[in-house]
Structure 1
Amino acid sequence: MINYLKATTIAVTVSLCANAAAAEDYPAPVPMMDGAQAAIDAITPKNETFRIAYMPPATEFNYYIAVGEGIKAIAAEQGAEVFMLAPQSGADINGQMGMIQDVLTQDVDAIIFGTHDEFAAAPLIKKAVDQGIAVLMINSDIPNFPTPIHGVVGYSQRNGTHKIADWAIETYGGEPVKVGIIEGQPGYHSTERVGGFLDGIEGNEDFEVVVSIPGGWNVEGGNTAGMDILQSHPDLDVIFAANDYMIIGASFAAKALGRSDIALLGNDGDTSGLEEIAAGNVTATVNTSPYLMGQAAMHATLDALEGTYPGGWIETPTSIEDKNGAIAVLQEPEKLFPLPSKEY
């Protein structure tokens, strides 16, 4: 079990040399597939104070900001410099590639990154590894990134959404259930999350997927997709979306159409999603604890720079939260970013 240490939300630059995190600060990593592991002993830090770039796919998602706050909290404790660089939109793949290319000229010691297009990123990530930069992927469970990297930190996406499918069967099974799915932007993350949900309901004669369309990972896209599928399938019982932003958007569509009877299921567990569940606007989500994920990623990155991280995938935990569970999570605001809008 991860020892996440005391959480803090301060973003600072510290002038001390980073100390290695202890091995018990994250679960034992699972080896990646053959050929996917970059050599830890080839990492060559350049700076006395480790300088680390956090490069999520976009700044439009609070989820990635929460991950970043967890990263910065551990950087402050351990004595490292962290900066975040990302495009505003998760669809701006070219923008992110330009930023990665720019960072390669800045004498960074490590890159913690996430991307919506692993194949576009792979050539630049290879350059980073070849330069001796420690490279860890965040919010993922890819065991074979297209080019070797040093580590992956994230939850099992397919297992997480399989859990919410199991929850849906237990909660709504026993009678016919028509399901609509809102996918993310095409790529690994959407494939795994949607795939896990489909795996979970496969073979259950009560559940029928009648429509599956993309929602672009954001609230606006989820609203548009939700409106489309609810209008074209007015007898729908459940909508599952591959992230919380899209299911929040779908909840706006459901409200506009007077569909208070439909179950709305998401994935992420960021603060806005949890508050929508607590308010009764969304039904349940897969809670992936992004702030704590960031803390685990930073511990692993510092260990990689010290040569004590063995490489591989670090799995972070998931849980299914309905209204009662969401309120319980919101009652521990020190583990969340941004903070809840009120005290629960």
Structure 2
Amino acid sequence: MINTSKTLALAAGLAAGAFAAQAGDYPTPVPLKDGAQAAISSIAPKNDTFRIAYMPPATEFNYYIAVGEGIKSVGKEAGVDVFMLAPQSGADINGQMGMIQDVLTQDVDAIIFGTHDEFAAAPLLKKAVDQGIAVLMINSDIPDFPTPIHGVVGYSQRNGTRAMADWAVQTYGDQKVKVGIIEGQPGYHSTERVGGFLEGIEGNDNFDVVVSIDGKWNVEGGNTAGMDILQSHPDLDLVFAANDYMIIGASYAAKALGRSDLVMLGNDGDTSGLEEIASGNITATVNTSPYLMGKAAMSATLDALNGSFPGGWIETPTSIEDQAGAISVLQEPEKLFPQPSKQY
């Protein structure tokens, strides 16, 4: 068993506080790969009051609700019409595709979307671009979406989880650590997040990945995956999951099995994950500031509709938060959604 008494706080990317000072604005975009950038000049708004569809992968994830609150806050200030449409389950790819198809008939001016299946979404989003709709992807850093789009807004997913691995190595790397990984559903997000963590521990002989399975991005899937890997590998020391919902589910499995000694690492930094860290049920997460991400995405979308957004990827901030860091973030509830369950 590893010694979990040590703590360390490392920053990854921009500091959230520095980014917050730019609220309503965004950093200079990074160009997408050749052929991936849709022409901003092709955007042709249909409405005097812009009508914008926010289409995340699912409503089951509070993370995307927090992104939506950031979108709505900027939209309200600008006096535009914003609505959210998404299936309940992140596994309901067909449901999301049907909703995108429906939105294409509703005279929207822009679509801000996230998806767990970029290849399924690409043909529909090509239609959107061809119709003059501004199309921006949220919570990603994909440089070459399968069809050209106008912009991408999100953190560097591989760098974020690599920083989490660096944190783990610096904190526990002098001990033998058997690692279990809970992946998301196959796709870009899972590949990047798991890949970043694996890159970060590569070359450290004390870290040994013994199992890696799909947790379906949600708490229930994480609980099932956690129970499976902990029962089949009772000597695990550390579990990394590609999002906070899955590590929350895995923490329930650990509790049921009496494993209070595990290091539990997540990725997202939404309110529920931060509160679980503050309570000591999870060890640390990559905090990706979803509310600020939403504000940046909406600001870029409005600029795209006005012809002043150059296109490209807008990088949003991340930081590694352990218990002390999570409490500090929770003490600024105005930057979170939903609000914390109590005052910290």
| Secondary structure class of the residue paired with 1:67 | helix
Match of 1:63 in 2: 63
How big is each residue's C-alpha offset from its partner over 1:219-258, in whole Å with a ceiling of 9 and x where there is no partner?
A: 0000010011011111100000000000000000000111
Match of 1:173 in 2: 173
| 1:227 maps to amino acid | M
Quick one: distance in 2 between partners of 1:310 and 1:188?
Answer: 24
Work out whether residues 3 and 26 of structure 1, in 8 Å CA contact, stay in contact via their aligned partners in 2: no
Match of 1:74 in 2: 74
Match of 1:222 in 2: 222
| 2:220 maps to amino acid | E
Consecutive unaligned residues of structure 1, counting only runs of 5 or more, are 7-20
TM-score, normalization: structure 2? 0.94
Work out whether residues 289 and 317 of structure 1, in 8 Å CA contact, stay in contact via their aligned partners in 2: yes
1:92 aligns with 2:92: yes
Displaced runs of 4 or more, over 3 A: 1-6
| Secondary structure class of the residue paired with 1:320 | strand
Match of 2:122 in 1: 122
> Deviation of residue 175 (structure 1)?
1.7
Match of 2:292 in 1: 292
How big is each residue's C-alpha offset from its partner over 1:135-156, in whole Å with a ceiling of 9 and x where there is no partner?
A: 0000000000000000000000
1:142 aligns with 2:142: yes
| 2:329 maps to amino acid | V
> Deviation of residue 79 (structure 1)?
1.2
| 1:259 maps to amino acid | R
Match of 1:30 in 2: 30
1:113 aligns with 2:113: yes
Quick one: distance in 2 between partners of 1:145 and 1:138?
Answer: 12
| Secondary structure class of the residue paired with 2:221 | helix
Quick one: distance in 2 between partners of 1:284 and 1:175?
Answer: 18
> Deviation of residue 4 (structure 1)?
5.8
| Secondary structure class of the residue paired with 1:307 | coil
> Deviation of residue 58 (structure 1)?
0.2
The alignment yields a C-alpha RMSD, in angstroms, of: 0.9
Quick one: distance in 1 between partners of 2:20 and 2:259?
Answer: 42
| Secondary structure class of the residue paired with 1:52 | strand
| 1:317 maps to amino acid | P
Match of 1:13 in 2: none
Match of 1:304 in 2: 304
> Deviation of residue 78 (structure 1)?
1.1
Match of 2:278 in 1: 278
Match of 2:4 in 1: none
Quick one: distance in 2 between partners of 1:286 and 1:2?
Answer: 16
Match of 1:259 in 2: 259
| 1:323 maps to amino acid | Q
Work out whether residues 20 and 292 of structure 2, in 8 Å CA contact, stay in contact via their aligned partners in 1: no
Work out whether residues 2 and 296 of structure 1, in 8 Å CA contact, stay in contact via their aligned partners in 2: no
Quick one: distance in 1 between partners of 2:62 and 2:21?
Answer: 20
Quick one: distance in 1 between partners of 2:90 and 2:231?
Answer: 27
Quick one: distance in 1 between partners of 2:251 and 2:126?
Answer: 41
| 1:72 maps to amino acid | K
> Deviation of residue 213 (structure 1)?
0.3
> Deviation of residue 2 (structure 1)?
3.8
1:343 aligns with 2:343: yes
| 1:41 maps to amino acid | S
| Secondary structure class of the residue paired with 2:144 | coil
> Deviation of residue 176 (structure 1)?
1.0
Match of 1:331 in 2: 331
Match of 2:15 in 1: none
User: Size of the alignment, in residue pairs?
Assistant: 327
> Deviation of residue 3 (structure 1)?
5.2
How big is each residue's C-alpha offset from its partner over 1:147-168, in whole Å with a ceiling of 9 and x where there is no partner?
A: 0000000000000000000000
Q: Percent identity?
A: 83
> Deviation of residue 343 (structure 1)?
0.2
Work out whether residues 140 and 153 of structure 1, in 8 Å CA contact, stay in contact via their aligned partners in 2: yes
Work out whether residues 158 and 192 of structure 1, in 8 Å CA contact, stay in contact via their aligned partners in 2: yes
Quick one: distance in 1 between partners of 2:141 and 2:178?
Answer: 30
| 2:189 maps to amino acid | H
Match of 2:41 in 1: 41
How big is each residue's C-alpha offset from its partner over 1:193-229, in whole Å with a ceiling of 9 and x where there is no partner?
A: 0000000001111101000000000000000100110
Quick one: distance in 2 between partners of 1:4 and 1:272?
Answer: 25
| 1:288 maps to amino acid | T
Consecutive unaligned residues of structure 2, counting only runs of 5 or more, are 1-17
Quick one: distance in 1 between partners of 2:240 and 2:221?
Answer: 14
TM-score, normalization: structure 1? 0.94
Work out whether residues 180 and 236 of structure 1, in 8 Å CA contact, stay in contact via their aligned partners in 2: yes
Quick one: distance in 1 between partners of 2:312 and 2:158?
Answer: 18
Structure number with the bigger relative contact order (C-alpha 8 A, sep ≥ 6) is 2
Quick one: distance in 1 between partners of 2:337 and 2:150?
Answer: 27
Quick one: distance in 1 between partners of 2:137 and 2:106?
Answer: 19
Match of 1:198 in 2: 198
> Deviation of residue 5 (structure 1)?
6.2
> Deviation of residue 105 (structure 1)?
0.3
Quick one: distance in 2 between partners of 1:341 and 1:2?
Answer: 25
